[in-house]
Amino acid sequence: MTEEVYHIPALLPEVIQGLNINPDGVYVDVTYGGGGHSRAIVEALSPKGHLYGMDQDADAVSRAMTDPRFTIIRGNFRFLNNFLRFHGVDNVDGILADLGVSFHHFDDPSRGFSFRWEGPLDMRMNQNAPTDAAKVIAEYSEERLADIFYLYGELKTARRIASAIVKARQTAPVDTVERLLAVVNPLINPRQEKKELAQLFQALRIEVNGEIDALKHLLTASLKALKPGGRLAVITYHSLEDRLVKNFMRGGDFTGSIQKDFYGRNLAPMKLLNSKPVTASPEEVERNPRSRSAKLRIAMKL
């Protein structure tokens, strides 16, 4: 499988420009995936520079490039500082996080990330993790399921869908993609079928992988990992992620509030470098339709 099939990197030129790469610097791509962003970063480095790539998926790690300027790490980016310390790295010049799901994951029926294929309800990025989507569906209360669908999927029919799932699982397990679709399809608006099913599967994936909690850990860890003047670039794909990233880059916390000192000076630990997120051009969207929802924000540590 080629890198292009595995994953097409979104906003690649914009990411490289935003990181403002120092050829002798040290960088981290905490979402290695298919390696598209990582390869471009390494190409901008001198023999003195180095990139650490992270991914919790064994398949992505097994496909990692070989280059003396590159080290692959298998792990969740919530533990960024622990992994850097293990490799003897105190601070880095830049961190990249592309929070999208690789083509490979969507297009592999055995992983259960997409409603387009029949297969098990899995959705684990790390297949050693104990909880998959089928377990969430089988064990969560109706109220908890409704909260997940509403908060992470922004589904207006969240409570009705949760109720239908709880009722259905009493007669037979809801542990495959096709079984879940059979349960929820009567509650899906036919005119927005793809959108609403994508929202439902997104919500389950976020819960299974603890994505919101992991993102918060990463953003907090980045403050310790980055050198002064170092840059953080994050690509998000839905409003919940983007809101967290924007708030953190603006004020150093997740509420969006900006603390000021006695003289009214901004105490935020980072400076947001783009007031509006960078989005894909029409040409990129035509080449890579999945880049349509990508939003890139870049901040510099003060």
Q: Are residues 226 and 198 both part of a single domain?
A: no
**pLDDT tens for each residue of 243-291:** 999 999 999 999 878 888 788 788 899 999 998 999 999 999 999 998 9
- Does residue 104 carry a pLDDT above 80? no
Q: Are residues 117 and 204 both part of a single domain?
A: yes
* Number of domains comprising the chain: 2
Q: Are residues 29 and 47 both part of a single domain?
A: yes
- Does residue 213 carry a pLDDT above 70? yes
- What are the angstrom distances between the C-alpha of 272 and each of 21, 158, 252, 289? 17, 34, 10, 27
Percent of the chain predicted with pLDDT > 70 = 98
* Domain termination site, one of 183, 209, 235: 209
Q: What is the CATH number of the domain that holds 278?
A: 3.40.50.150
Q: Are residues 95 and 121 both part of a single domain?
A: no
**pLDDT tens for each residue of 198-210:** 999 999 999 999 9
Q: Are residues 131 and 189 both part of a single domain?
A: yes
Q: What is the CATH number of the domain that holds 179?
A: 1.10.150.170
**pLDDT tens for each residue of 181-202:** 999 999 999 999 999 999 999 9
- Does residue 1 carry a pLDDT above 70? no
E strands present in the chain:
26-29, 50-55, 70-74, 92-98, 226-236, 270-272, 278-279, 295-301
Q: Are residues 38 and 167 both part of a single domain?
A: no
Reading the block at residue 116, the tokens are 């387009």
* Domain termination site, one of 209, 231, 248: 209
Dihedrals phi, psi of 253, to nearest 5 degrees: -140, -175
Domain extent for 76? 3-103+211-301
